[in-house]
Structure 1
Amino acid sequence: MRRLWAWEEDLLGECRALLDNVVVQYNVYDRWQWDPDPHEGYTVRGAYQALTSMEVPTIEGGGELIWHKQVPLKVSILAWRMLKDKLPTRSNLQRRGILAAANTTCLSGCGLEETASHIFLYCEVFGSLWQHIRSWIGMSGAHPQNISEHFLQFTHSTGH
């Protein structure tokens, strides 16, 4: 078994801290609850319906591009979460109380806050990958200033 990396040890410490106040009681029934349908519980069909019935971004034609039948569902979900700022970035995890405030810096080590905009647009490590992809597919144009522009540039480069 390998030793944990420093960042893994930090996450383990945070996990332990979160579990410190958990009390397991022998005679108490625990269960997970799926909020969209607390009676039936979680089903893949229910999750799909919850995702596809939610309001799509206010990008003109965005809904048709995100939930297009030829786009794999996992890609559609990623695009939808990206546009709604629901990706598990360190900033979002900190806002939900999952990570400590001190742990919101980008995983690349650049020292800036890890947000979707930072990862996809501004990060010297990860954001630069998109520049390589743009070059590889022969896409030119202005550098996107926000996630919506980023999404539109890539979807319009496909001819849609």
Structure 2
Amino acid sequence: MENRLKWLSRSMREPEEKTMNRKKKTIRSAGGQRRWRRTIEEVVVGNHLRATDLCEGKRRSYIDNGMLPTGGGETYWNNWVPIKLNIFIWRLRLNSLPTRANLSYRGILLDSILCPVCSAMIESIDHLFFGYSELIDLWNRVALWWGVHVPQHLSIDSLLFWSNSFSWRSGQRKVFDAVIMTTLWCIWNFRNSILFGTELPMKSIIFDEMVKNSYFWVVNRCSKANIGWTNWLHNLVSACKLL
């Protein structure tokens, strides 16, 4: 009786083991450990990943490739502004700032996805930084301050690489880039003040905050930046020639 039960148990296991062996392939790692391997095409059905069918490395790679955006260009960095601004610009170029449109896209439920500044359009990256009339006026004011023209087609990259179209010295371009980065930072802070502040800020403070903060950061982070406050306000391009 006991032998018969063993035979029945073995006969029930053998078909299942043969089926599993046909469906799965194994590889031996350097440490001699065995793991199951299947290609992504075999385990992705209807755009859903069965995580149990992939080894840990392939799961990470699949998630990264599918969910992490690529910058599409080299990293933008300026050491005349704080590190927090460089990280902010990096996230901005990746479209990974927590705007209402991005939060909604990631499945986070919000009371509204409209822009908290104008309350008329969806709060996307493009709209938040140059998508309504007050911001167009702001960028025109920055251009007037530097004696240049606003890019014909506004975008994040056209603003960040605005100085490449000028025949300036490298120091002048770097200061201008710092001003643009600071302007974007001040717009984001203004937006956050509306959402989380105790008082409603005025739009006019964006330009004033940008001028003050960019001056403080440049003159304290560039050893050659011997620029007075008056020159910073009224003669900035000439004041930056020696940088």
**1:118 Cα offset (Å):** 0.9
Note the C-alpha offset of 1:142: 2.9
Which of the two has greater strand per residue? 2
Structure 2 contact 69–94 (Cα < 8 Å) conserved: no
Q: Distance in 1 between matches of 2:129 and 2:140?
A: 10
Residues in 2 aligned to 1:110 and 1:55: alpha-carbon distance in whole angstroms: 28
Distance 1:130 1:141 in 2: 7
Question: Residue 142 and residue 118 in structure 1: after superposition, are their counterparts in 2 closer, same or farther (change >3 A)?
Answer: same
Q: Deviations over 1:61-89 (max 9, x none)?
A: x42xx223333201101111111101121
CA contact (8 A) 1:108 1:126 kept: no
Equivalent pairs, count = 102
Superposed CA RMSD:
2.9
Higher helix share: 2
Tell me the residue number matched to 2:173.
159
TM-score by length of 1: 0.51
| Alpha-carbon distance change, 55 to 154 in structure 1, aligned in 2, over 3 angstroms | farther
Change (3 A) 1:91 1:55: closer
Within-5 A mapping of 1:48-127? 57-59=71-73, 62-63=74-75, 66-100=76-110, 103-127=112-136
Q: Please give the alpha-carbon distance, in whole angstroms, between the structure 2 residues aligned to 1:73 and 1:156.
A: 26
Per-residue deviation, 1:141: 4.2
SS of the aligned residue for 1:145 comes to coil
AA of the residue aligned to 2:142:
I
Q: Distance in 2 between matches of 1:82 and 1:147?
A: 8
1:65-120 Cα deviation digits (max 9, x unpaired): x22333320110111111110112111121123343x6111112251111111121
Instruction: Indicate the SS of the match to 1:104.
Output: coil
1:7-48 deviation digits (Å, cap 9, x = unpaired): xxxxxxxxxxxxxxxxxxxxxxxxxxxxxxxxxxxxxxxxxx
Q: 2:139 aligns with which of 111, 130, 155?
A: 130
In structure 2, the gaps of 5 or more residues are 1-67, 167-171, 175-243
AA of the residue aligned to 2:94: K
Larger Cα-atom Rg: 2
Corresponding residue SS for 2:121: coil
| Matched-pair contact (CA < 8 Å) for 2:101–2:123 | yes
Contact 1:89 1:116 in 2 (8 A): yes
Shift of residue 151, structure 1, vs aligned partner: 1.6
For residues 109-141 of structure 1, give each alpha carbon's deviation from its aligned partner in whole angstroms, at most 9, with x where no partner exists: 251111111121222234432222222222214
Q: Distance in 2 between matches of 1:74 and 1:156?
A: 26
Cα distance change of structure 1 residues 155 and 103 upon mapping to structure 2, 3 Å threshold: farther
In structure 1, how many angstroms separate the alpha carbons of the residues matched to 2:148 and 2:84?
A: 24
Identity %: 25
The corresponding residue for 2:228 is none
